[in-house]
């Protein structure tokens, strides 16, 4: 079973999400790699922030949208961690698996796709899969970075698209990254028959992880890498 730390990891005692410190802890806890979020700041670098604004990560102190803030003005995260750029994360995660979620709630998608593609091209030795909730972003990567594997994200708000959307994008994608709540045996089987890998997020319960493994899910994204590695890390095959 492949276990990826969700934004590195989250919960009491964890470093700030999407920080290099969180990624390192995920690796130390046995994760095969991490899932991270990327969007552009005002100076054009792809930086790792989940939300479109700085409100949550600064506790409301700074409410500016990320796209309006240049890299040198980005505030420190909890614990004093810096907001990393994608290049720094890929360097740290060399030789590991990195799921790069390209955020869809951005002012302009194409500049983001181009910047992410450039960063990935400069980071050999890291197994990257790019995912997004926006099919246009996924298809843009198919054109601009055809050698980078791609995946379609589908959330619980659109369960009817869990199989339909990934199947419609085949063969532009290699995987369907689904909210774990909408994965069923029949949906998983349809996707696997089409040659798509099924990846579940965000799985924090050992019993649910075991049930997903029994359905043939072989990649799990979790807030708690240590617990998931302990509970299902020995499931075969790893890929």
Whole-angstrom distance, CA of residue 7 vs CA of residue 117: 20
Tell me which fold the domain 2-232 belongs to: TIM Barrel (3.20.20)
Question: Is the pTM here over 0.85, yes or no?
Answer: yes
Q: What is the mean pLDDT of the chain?
A: 96
Domain ranges of the chain: 2-232
Residue 236, pLDDT above cutoff 90: no
pLDDT band at 78 (very low <50, low <70, confident <90, very high): confident
Backbone phi and psi for residue 152, each to the nearest 5 degrees, phi listed first: -100, 130
The 3-class secondary structure across 136-196, one letter per residue, is HHHHHHHHHCCCCCEEEEECCCCCCHHHHHHHHHCCCCCEEEEEHHHCCHHHHHHHHHCCC
**pLDDT tens across 18-68, in order?**
999 999 999 999 999 999 999 999 999 999 999 999 999 999 999 999 999
Backbone phi and psi for residue 172, each to the nearest 5 degrees, phi listed first: -75, -15
**pLDDT tens across 142-167, in order?**
999 999 999 999 999 999 999 999 99
**SS3 (DSSP) at 114:** helix
């Amino acid at each position: 079973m492949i276990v990826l730390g969700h934004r590195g990891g989250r919960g009491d005692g964890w470093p700030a999400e999407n920080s290099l410190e969180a990624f390192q802890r995920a690796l130390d806890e046995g994760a095969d790699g991490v899932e991270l979020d990327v969007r552009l700041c005002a100076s054009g670098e792809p930086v790792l922030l989940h939300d479109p604004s700085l409100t949550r990560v600064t506790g409301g102190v700074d409410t500016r949208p990320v796209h309006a803030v240049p890299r040198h003005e980005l505030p420190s995260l909890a614990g004093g961690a810096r907001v990393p750029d994608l290049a720094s994360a890929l360097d740290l995660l060399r030789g590991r698996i990195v799921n790069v979620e390209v955020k869809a709630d951005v002012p302009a998608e194409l500049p983001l796709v181009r910047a992410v593609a450039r960063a990935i091209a400069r980071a050999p030795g890291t197994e990257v899969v790019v995912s997004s909730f926006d099919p246009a972003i996924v298809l843009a990567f198919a054109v601009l970075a055809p050698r980078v594997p791609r995946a379609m994200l589908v959330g619980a708000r659109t369960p009817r698209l869990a199989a339909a959307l990934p199947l419609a994008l085949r063969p532009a994608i290699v995987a369907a990254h689904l909210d774990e709540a909408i994965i069923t045996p029949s949906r998983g089987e349809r996707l696997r028959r089409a040659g798509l890998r099924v990846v579940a997020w965000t799985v924090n319960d050992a019993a649910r992880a075991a049930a997903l493994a029994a359905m043939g899910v072989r990649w799990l994204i979790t807030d708690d890498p240590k617990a998931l590695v302990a509970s299902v890390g020995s499931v075969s095959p790893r890929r």
